[in-house]
Structure 1
Amino acid sequence: MADTNPLLAALRPGHPLRERLWQYALLVRANRPIGALLLVWPMLWALWIAAEGRPDPWVLVVFLAGTWVMRSAGCAINDYADRDFDGHVARTRQRPLAAGHIRPIEAIGVFLALSLTAFLLVLSMNRETVYLSFAGVALAASYPFMKRFHHLPQVHLGAAFGWAVPMVWTAQTGAWPGPLAWLIFIAAVLWATIYDTLYAMADREDDLKIGLKSTAILFGDADRLIIGVLQVMMMATLFLIGRDAHLGWPYDLSLVVAAGMFVYQQLLIAYRVPEFCLRAFMNNNGFGFAVFAGVALSYLLRA
């Protein structure tokens, strides 16, 4: 007997609704969580430091969900902005919008629905955090278009990804972010500039052909050197964060591990092979975890 339950029927392989939902999942990179993880780590650094190792459980839940939702929204608006370019880049030509599996208006709808979901989550926080959220949405929505106007979209991405830092700080403390919070924000911007430049190095030749801009193109043959300078600046900023937050030896050890990862990334990009550039980009997930482990252990051992 044929299944008469519409919901069960819709979940069957080949059903149009199931296929449509799968394309939406691909649009928001549900199959590639690395972007969400890179967004989550600085937020967790800031939350643990703001809470001195004892974060409010609801703030933690809201920001874990919110960062994941906003990253998904950012992917949707990014693919809408790049819909006329992705088909010319080997790595992106199979994205749902570029391949014609969904329409541009659907990507806009996904972006708006996810942004509204994130806003509903943040409404459970204090008023100051809600105010800060408007800047976060503006940064996320505008980032994908920056690569048409200037060579520093990676810095803009850093501000968009890093905006979770002042927001979570305010949500946890109930006060506007102070110098330490902004220092963590600076670290987040530097870090995103580093790892997204590594990512852009993999697409540099295609981006040059279609006229898109990036730090990888701007840096040219000096890319490895400038990334190295940014990595040193990042490590110095993390050191200052540990000093100002009075973190202990586990954090210092985590910085040694993180510095080793930066050295490994430099080795990976030595010959600018796209595959190895992407591998260096992926390595930053371990970097973010190492720093967070140092922060969390410092407070845990202090208790």
Structure 2
Amino acid sequence: MRRGGLFRGGADRSLPDAVTGHWADRLAPLSARPYLRLARVERPIGWWLLLLPCWWSAALAALAAGAPYPDPWHLVLFLVGAVAMRGAGSTYNDIVDRDLDARVARTRDRPLPSGRVSVKGAFAFVLAQCAVGLAVLLQLNWFAVATGFASVAIVLTYPFMKRVIWLPQVVLGLCFSWGALMGWAAAFGSLSAAPLLLYAAAIAWVVGYDTIYALQDIEDDEIAGIKSSARLFGARVRLAIGLCYATTIALMAGALALVAPGPIAWLGLLAFAAHLAWQVATLDPAGGRRALMLFRSNRDAGLILFAGMVLDALI
């Protein structure tokens, strides 16, 4: 044990929703593992779900401009930025939620409630990750930079919402869907109706998939007094998720219609819709492991939609 430092004692163990055998739990130095877990490195689904609206927006912009593909440099920047800012957001969220996390079985072994990282160390880590995100953002045009900064207030507010409202997933959607504006802003230096519809579609998608994720914690959330859409919807949770996903598809179709793509983009949207319908049809509200699997499958759903738009632009 190191006293007075950033790393403190406790048994090293992977968290229950981490990817089994991830390199961060096997190969990283023991002193680095708590920080990698704060950044959710061993749970890459988070940065994928933050990245995908960015990539969708870049692909939508390519279709609108008649370009053969999205700007590859923008795609790389969004990838780096998504990893960095997801890590920063998760670390900040853990700082705010450290007392609540200590009362929930799935989260009580996280680095802060378990005492393996100090609050001071976590704040320093947030700043380091934000510096990377800022460096990425400054590679874009000034309108995109301003658009990126406009999300900060929502990001800072989100961790407190589960104490206040029954649908904190809506605020999460406002945060995680911001990339739906960024790809277009980076390409055109402006916004229009198409990326705004895409943003709204992504918000509904986030509410749907994060409600599935929240099913894992529903019993512990009741004990801890944490509000969530899974608790709010109760026995109607499958219907509620289905409505969220139907709204996603309708708004996504509106965004595509405004850029008049070819048939392959529409086929991509159809495949995306089929994937979401499969999630709803096979959901077991009482099955935590099934819920985690379906939640993670949204990476594949999002990549299907992105692939459809990119192939349409190419062809």
Q: Is 1:278 the counterpart of 2:289 in the alignment?
A: no
Matched, 1:30 2:44: no
Is 177-186 or 99-108 further displaced after alignment? Answer: 99-108
User: What residue in structure 1 maps to residue 237 of structure 2?
Assistant: 223
Structure 2 distance, partners of 1:273, 1:189, is 25
Structure 2 partner of 1:213: 227
In structure 2, what residue type is equivalent to 1:263? A
Contact 1:268-1:277 at 8 Å conserved across structures? no
Of 129, 136, 140 in structure 1, the residue corresponding to residue 155 of structure 2 is 140
Q: What is the Cα-based RMSD across aligned positions, in Å? A: 1.6
Supply the distance in 2 between the matched residues of 1:121 and 1:76 (Cα, whole angstroms).
19
Offset of residue 271 of structure 1 = 4.3
Is it true that 1:191 corresponds to 2:205 in the alignment?
yes
DSSP 3-state at the match of 1:114: helix
Q: Residue 110 in 1 paired to residue 125 in 2?
A: yes
Deviation at 1:263, TM superposition (A): 2.3
Partner in structure 2 of residue 249 of structure 1: 263
Q: SS where residue 166 of structure 2 aligns? A: coil
**Letter aligned with residue 198 of structure 2:** I
Counterpart AA for 2:241: I
Residue 222 to residue 82, structure 1, CA distance change in 2 (3 Å): same
Residue by residue over 1:151-196, the C-alpha shift from the partner in whole angstroms, topping out at 9 and shown as x without a partner, is 121111111111122222111112x210001011111111111111
CA distance in 1, matches of 2:73, 2:100: 40
Residue segments in structure 2 that go unaligned for 5+ positions in a row = 1-27
Question: Which structure's relative contact order is higher, taking Cα pairs within 8 Å and 6+ residues apart?
Answer: 2
Match of 1:6 in 2: none
Deviations 1:29-65 (A, max 9, x none): 1111001111111111100111334333332222221
Instruction: State which of 80, 85, 88 in structure 2 corresponds to 1:73.
Output: 88
Match of 2:7 in 1: none
User: Which deviates more, 125-134 or 195-204?
Assistant: 125-134
2:282 counterpart letter in structure 1: L
Greater shift, 190-199 or 140-149, is seen at: 140-149
Aligned partners of 2:277, 2:209: CA distance in 1, in Å?
Answer: 13
> 2-side partners of 1:131 and 1:254: how far apart?
31
Task: Map 1:1-303 to 2 at 5 A.
Answer: 18-52=29-63, 53-174=68-189, 176-301=190-315
TM-score by length of 1: 0.89
Report if aligned partners of 1:39, 1:162 keep a CA contact under 8 Å in 2. yes
When residues 167 and 283 of structure 1 are mapped into structure 2, their CA distance, relative to the original with a 3 A threshold, is: same
> Which letter does structure 2 place at the counterpart of 1:36?
W
Partners of 2:210 and 2:231 in 1: CA distance: 12
Q: Deviations over 1:232-258 (max 9, x none)?
A: 111111222222222222222222322
Q: Is the 8 A contact 1:163 1:185 kept in 2?
A: yes
- Once residues 255 and 245 of structure 1 are traced to their aligned partners in structure 2, the CA distance between those partners, rounded to angstroms, is 14
**Distance in 1, Cα, partners of 2:154 & 2:162:** 14
Report the count of equivalent residues.
284
- How has the CA–CA distance of structure 1 residues 255 and 130 changed in structure 2, closer, same or farther, with 3 Å as cutoff? closer
Flag structure 1 segments of 5+ consecutive residues without an equivalent: 1-16
Q: Which is helix-richer, 1 or 2?
A: 1
When normalised by structure 2's length, the TM-score is: 0.86
Contact kept in structure 1, 2:262 and 2:312, CA below 8 Å: yes
Query: Are the aligned partners of 1:115 and 1:137 in contact in 2 as well (CA < 8 Å)?
Result: no
**Counterpart Cα distance in 2 of 1:181 and 1:139:** 19
Structure 1 letter corresponding to 2:72: P
Instruction: Provide the C-alpha distance between the structure 2 equivalents of 1:164 and 1:253, rounded to a whole number of angstroms.
Output: 23
Contact 2:271 2:304 in 1 (8 A): yes
